[in-house]
Amino acid sequence: MLVSSKELFKVARKNNFAIPAPNFVDQNSIKAYIEVAEKLNLPVILAYAEAHKNYLSFDEALYLGKYYGEKAKVPAVLHFDHGTTKELIIRAINEGFKSVMIDASMDSFEDNVKKTREIVEYAHLRGVVVEAEIGHVGNGEDFKSYDVSDSIYTTVEEAKKFVELTNVDSLAISIGTAHGAYKGTPVIDFDRLKEIRNAIDTPLVLHGGSSSGDDNLGRCATEGISKINIYTDLVTAASNKAKNTKFEDYYDLRDAQMDGMKECLEHYYNVFQTKKFI
């Protein structure tokens, strides 16, 4: 069933766990994520990133997300991730996404507030929740290569001010992670996470979860993060499973890739200590 993330995040924040937000890029990946969520009887956030539109068009993502999300036997949130194009974010709000992210994190603080507030006002009138980012989680073109030095850490003062000025529903913060794969294990600023969590009531989101280390992510989930985005580890798991599987045809290859994604996502459900809502 398709739902809003608003109530899910309240429960996650209160009970100190996180909900995974895996990015889907085709039919097989979204089916794999829902199968895992149904197996574990846990909610899932089905995220489609604007940067992936070259792999899966917006129209295809909308159709797949609504079709499989509505059929899901567990709470499923259809989320438009890292939206940078206003027109596309508006389409997402109007046409069926239950949650959207406006990513103006590389703009000035003032411009980020202005753009976010505009989307929040439009979305809330239509029952859609909004995520924004303050600070910046480093990234590279098409989510393939990233430099941790690109990251701009979120300050407590700006987080408080941003939430007050925008009325955003969830806030992505930068505390040491980066999108994509790492050459080492990142150092997470847990003191900063604690300070931000204690300063605002707004649910917190962590981007760049892949390869951040199970201990790091487990602590993030229990110490204030309500949603953790993962993508690179999922597609890497799919690739590795295929490489290590003897397949005779396309169907064997497809099943191996899906199995890799499912095993990886189930692992992260355990790491994030996601709990049942019913």
The verdict on residue 25 lying in a domain is yes
The owner of tokens 């999108």 is 179
From 164, 213, 207, select the one nearest 185 (Cα to Cα): 213
Kindly state whether residue 212 falls inside one of the protein's structural domains: yes
- Count of all residues that appear for the chain in the document: 278
Catalytic (active site) residue 81: yes
Q: Looking at the DSSP assignment, which residues form a beta bridge with residue 229? A: 21
Residue 102 pairs in a beta bridge with 83, 132
Give the pLDDT of residue 40. 97
User: HSE-up of 28 (CA within 13 Å, CB side)?
Assistant: 17
Q: Active-site residue among 26, 81, 107, 252?
A: 81
pLDDT in tens, the chain (278 residues): 999 999 999 999 999 999 999 999 999 999 999 999 999 999 999 999 999 999 999 999 999 999 999 999 999 999 999 999 999 999 999 999 999 999 999 999 999 999 999 999 999 999 999 999 998 676 533 333 344 445 688 999 999 999 999 999 999 999 887 766 655 667 889 999 999 999 999 999 999 877 788 999 999 999 999 999 999 999 999 999 999 999 899 999 999 999 999 999 999 999 999 998 75
Which residues are within 8 A (CB) of 187 and not within 5 positions of it... i.e. 6 or more apart? 176
Range(s) of the domain holding residue 255: 5-272
In a domain, 278, yes or no: no
30 assigned to some structural domain? yes
Using alpha carbons, list the distances in angstroms from residue 54 to 61, 120, 140, 197: 11, 27, 15, 36
Overall number of domains in the chain: 1
CATH code for position 52: 3.20.20.70
Q: Determine, yes or no, domain membership for 187.
A: yes
Torsion angle of alpha carbons 82, 277, 65, 262, nearest 10°?
90
Asked whether 130 and 101 are in contact (CB, 8 A), the reply is yes
Whole-number average pLDDT of the chain: 92
Closest listed residue to residue 24, CA positions, set 87, 74, 67, 88: 67
The CA-based angle 256-208-163, given to 5 degrees, is 135
**In Å, how far are 44, 72, 109, 178 from 47, measured between CA atoms?**
9, 15, 25, 17
What CA–CA distance (Å, rounded) separates 21 from 113?
A: 24
pLDDT at 145: 37
Between CA 17 and CA 220 the distance in angstroms is: 8
8: which 2 tokens? 């899910």
Establish if 118 belongs to a structural domain. yes
pTM of the model: 0.91
Which residue in 231, 228, 211, 172 sits closest to 30, CA to CA? 231
Note whether 268 and 36 are within 8 A (CB).
Answer: no
268, part of any domain: yes
277 domain-assigned: no
User: Does residue 24 contact residue 46 with C-beta atoms inside 8 Å?
Assistant: yes
